[in-house]
Amino acid sequence: MNILEAKDIHKYFREPTEFHVLKGLTFHIEKGKFISITGKSGSGKSTLLYLLSTMDTDFEGSIKINGEEMRGKSNRWLADFRNHHIGFVFQFHFLLPEFSALRNVMLPGLKRAQQPPDEVEHKAYELLKLLDVEDQAKKRAVLLSGGQQQRVAIARALINDPLIVMGDEPTGNLDSRNSAIVFDLFSQLAAERGQTMLMVTHDDEFAEKSDHIIHLADGRIDKQ
Amino acid sequence: MKIAKDFKLAASIAFTHMRAKLKQTIIATVGVAFGITVFIFMVSVMEGTNEFTEDVVFEQSPHLRLYNEIALAEHSILDRAAPSAWNVVHHQKPKDILPNLKDGIRAVEELGKDHRVLAISASVSTQLFYRLGSASVNGRVLGINFENEDALFALGSKIVEGGHEKLATQPNSLLMGVGLARKLNVATGDKLSVTTEKGDNFQVTIIGLFKTGLTDIDNQQSYASLKTVQRFLGVPASYITDIKVKLHDKELAPEIVEELENRYQYSGSDWKKDNSALLEGNVLRNMITYGVASTILLVAGFGIFNILTMMIYEKMKDIAILKATGFSDTDVRWVFLIQAIVIGFIGAVMGLIFGFLLAYATSRMPFESDVMITMDHLPVSFKPIYYISGFTFGILTTILAGYMPSRHAAKVDPITILRG
Ligand SMILES: Nc1ncnc2c1ncn2[C@@H]1O[C@H](COP(=O)(O)OP(=O)(O)OP(=O)(O)O)[C@@H](O)[C@H]1O
Ligand SMILES: [Mg+2]
C-alpha cells in the first residue's frame, strides 16, 4: 500500500530570480518503508521534504498522503493533519528555547489532546529515554548541546505516532554511536509499527542501510 | 471541549513566554497601570471639583428668576412719524424707567398658586456704598422676606454669626456677607452707614454675618428686609425688582420662563442660562481630563504594541515550529493575544487600585481655598462609572494593541523561517 504518492511535482522560486528547483518529480512510497533522499547540496532535498510535509503549499502537481490529496486544503486542516500524521525533524533542530526538553516533546501531543497530559508526559519521557537524553528532560532547551537538541527534536517528531516521520539530516549533528541509535530506532519503528521513514541524508552509510534511495540531481530523480 | 483545551495550551505557552520575558512584561503592565491610575485620579478629582462648585453655585442659583431689564426702545419716535422710511438713530439712550416689576406683587401671588412652583421669593435689590469712617465699599443690598428666601437658598444655614430673627422687626438691620464685613472690618452689632445711588444716607446695624461660599456674594452683598430696602430707595411697598422661583422639576425651568415672560412682559432667565459658563467649563474640563487620560492609555497601548511586536520577531522560529508541529494559525494568535490580555487585565486592576488609593489620599488632604470658602479639603468624587470606564478602556486598548501583532504572528509562513 502506498502511503505517499507524488505526481509531477514542480517547484519554482520566484525571488530573487525565477528558479526552477524541482522539475517534475513522480514517485510513490510504500507504508512501513525506510526511504533516504540523497543528492548534492543545493539539489532541492529540503525543498522537496517541505512540500511533502504539507508546510509548503506553493507547488504544481499532486501530493497524496494516506490516500488524501494535500493540494487546496486550508491552513487549519493541514496543521491538524501534520499534528496527527506527520512527524518532522528539521535540518537545524529547532526547539522552543524557553521550554524544557520534556515540554518540547509534549507540546504536539498536548495539542492533539487525545490522551490526558500525564500520559503524554509519560510517553514523552519514554521517548527521551529511548534516545538516551532522559537526564536532560527538565533542562531548558537552549542549554542542551546540539546533538542533545537533535535527539529531543526526534523524540518530538515521534510523540503522536505519526504515519510518516520526515527528517532533514536528522543525524547530522550526532556522533556515530548516537547516529546508530537513531537509525536503529527508525528501522524498528518502521518494521514493528509500520511507520514510514523519509530521511534526507548526506551519510552514505545511513542511506545504504535504508530500503530505498531517492537521489536528486538537477531537479530530477536520478535513480530509484 | 477541544477549543477549551487549545485555549489552555495557548495560555500555558503564553505564560512561559511572559515568564521568559519577565522584565518587558512588567514594564508593559506598569505602563497600563500608570495610564489607568492617572485616568482614575484625574477624573475623580476633576469631577469632584466640578460637583462641588456646581453644588455651591446651584444652591445659590434660583431655578428661574424674573426681572426688569433696562432695554433700548425697539421703535423710536421717528418710526411713528415716518413709518415707511429707513430711520437710523445714533447713540440712543435707554429710557428712564424704574427697574421694578410692574404688578410684581400680583405675579408673586399667582405664581405661589402654580402647582409647578415649590417656593418663591420676591426681593428688591440695589447698589449702594457701605461707609465706615473714611472707608467706602461699593456693594449690593437685597431686600427680602427672610422665610421665603430661606426656602429657596437655605439662607439660615449660611449664617455664621448673629442671627436673622431681628431682620424683619428691627428697621435698618443687615445680614452682611463675611467677605464684605472683613473689608469693612465690622462684626455683629456694629453700626455703619450706607449711601444709595441717589445720595441718601442711612444708618444701619449689623445683626449677623453669612457665608455662602460664593465670593461674589460674600464679598459685596447684604440682606435686609424688603421694607428696609424700599425705604432706602423711597419707593412704595409694592415695589419689587426680582422674583426668584424654585420649581419641583428644575428641568422645566426654560419653558416656564418663556411662558412667564410672555404672560407678564418681564425679562426672565433660568439656572441653565445663568450658569452656562460654569456648565460649559465643566464640559471643557471633562474633555481635557478624558483627553489626557486617553492619551496616556494610548501611549501605554503603544508600549504593549511595541513589546509584542518585538517579541513576535524574536519568536519567529517558535511560531514556525508550533505551526510545523500542528498548531493552527488561531492557536498562535491566541498565544500572543493572551499575553496582551493578561498584561491589560493586571495593569488595569492595578491601575484601579492605585487610582483609588491616590484619589482617597487626596480626599483626606486638608486644603483651604480663598475662592472656595466653604471647602476644607479637596473634593473628590468616587463614582463606580469612572472605575468601570477606566477598566473597559484599559482592556480595550491593550486588546487592540495586541491584536495587530497577534494577527501578524498568525500569518507567519513557517517555511520561510525554517529554511533558515
Ligand atoms: N527561499 C528560496 N528562494 C530562492 N531560492 C531558494 C530558496 N530556498 C532554497 N533555494 C534554492 O533552491 C535550491 C535547493 O535548496 P535546498 O535547500 O532544497 O537544497 P538541499 O538539497 O536541501 O541542500 P543541503 O544539502 O545543503 O541542505 C538551492 O539552490 C537554493 O539556493
Ligand atoms: Mg537541506
pLDDT at position B53: 81
The mean pLDDT value for B110-134 works out to 87
What is the rounded distance in angstroms from the CA atom of residue B289 to the CA atom of residue B283?
10
pLDDT at position A202: 87
Nearest CA-CA distance, residue A200 and chain B, Å: 14
* % of chain B at pLDDT higher than 90: 21
Q: Distance from the CA of A198 to the center of ligand 1, in angstroms?
A: 18
- pLDDT of residue B140 exceeding 70: yes
User: How many other C-beta atoms can be found within 10 angstroms of the C-beta atom of residue A177?
Assistant: 8
Pocket test for ligand 1, best of A18, A37, A43 (most atoms within 8 A of CB): A43
Closest by CA to A63, choosing from A76, A75, A50, is: A50
Write out pLDDT tens, residues A208-223: 889 999 999 988 998 6
Cβ neighbors of A148 (< 8 A, separation 6 or more) are A101, A133, A136
Cβ neighbors of B325 (< 8 A, separation 6 or more) are A82, A83, A88, A107, A108, A111, A156
**B43 conformational bin, left if phi > 0, alpha if psi -120 to 50, beta if neither:** alpha
Write the residue with the smallest CA distance to atom 29 of ligand 1: A42
Break chain B into its structural domains and give their ranges: 2-58+278-419, 64-83+95-269
What is the rounded distance in angstroms from the CA atom of residue A79 to the CA atom of residue B4?
18
User: How many other C-beta atoms can be found within 10 angstroms of the C-beta atom of residue B88?
Assistant: 8
What is the rounded distance in angstroms from the CA atom of residue B293 to the CA atom of residue B295?
5
User: How many other C-beta atoms can be found within 10 angstroms of the C-beta atom of residue B313?
Assistant: 11
Question: 3-state DSSP call for residue B210?
Answer: strand
Which three three-digit cell numbers place residue B386?
Answer: 469612572
Closest by CA to B123, choosing from B103, B109, B98, B104, is: B104
**Cβ–Cβ under 8 Å, residues B181 and B209:** yes
- pLDDT of residue B371 exceeding 70: no
pLDDT at position B163: 84
Task: Write down all domains in chain A, each with its CATH number in brackets.
Answer: 33-60+71-223 (3.40.50.300)
The band of B75, judged by pLDDT with boundaries at 50, 70 and 90, is low
Which three three-digit cell numbers place residue B171?
Answer: 428697621
User: How many other C-beta atoms can be found within 10 angstroms of the C-beta atom of residue A42?
Assistant: 10
Q: From residue B238, how far is each of A187, B72, B119, B120, B190 by CA, in Å?
A: 118, 25, 20, 16, 30
Ranges of residues in chain A whose predicted pLDDT is under 70: 93, 223-224
User: Of B22, B317, B318, B325, which to mutate for an interface test with A (greatest number of A Cβ within 10 Å)?
Assistant: B325
pLDDT at position B132: 85
Q: Is the peptide bond before A97 cis (omega within 30 degrees of 0)?
A: no
**Cβ–Cβ under 8 Å, residues B123 and B149:** yes
Q: Distance from the CA of A24 to the center of ligand 1, in angstroms?
A: 16
Write out pLDDT tens, residues B248-301: 888 888 888 888 888 888 888 888 888 888 788 888 888 887 888 778 778 777
Q: Which range, of B11-15, B90-94, B216-220, B405-409, averages the lowest pLDDT?
A: B90-94
Atom nearest to A39 CA in ligand 1: 21
The mean pLDDT value for B11-30 works out to 91
Share the mean pLDDT of chain B.
85
Q: When comparing pLDDT for B367 and B270, which is higher? A: B270
| ipTM of this predicted structure | 0.89
pTM over 0.90: no
- pLDDT of residue B126 exceeding 60: yes
- pLDDT of residue B228 exceeding 60: yes
Q: How many CB pairs under 8 A join A and B?
A: 72
**Chain A, nearest residue to B20 by Cα:** A98
The band of B101, judged by pLDDT with boundaries at 50, 70 and 90, is confident
Find out whether the beta carbon of A17 lies less than 6 Å from any atom of ligand 1: no
pLDDT at position B269: 87
HEC string of chain A equals CEEEEEEEEEEEECCCCCEEEEEEEEEEEECCCEEEEEECCCCCHHHHHHHHCCCCCCCEEEEEECCEECCCCCHHHHHHHHHHHEEEECCCCCCCCCCEHHHHHHHHHHHHCCCCHHHHHHHHHHHHHHCCCHHHCCCEHHHCCHHHHHHHHHHHHHCCCCCEEEEECCCCCCCHHHHHHHHHHHHHHHHHHCCEEEEECCCHHHHHHCCEEEEEECCEECCC
Find out whether the beta carbon of A46 lies less than 6 Å from any atom of ligand 1: yes
**Chain B, nearest residue to A108 by Cα:** B325
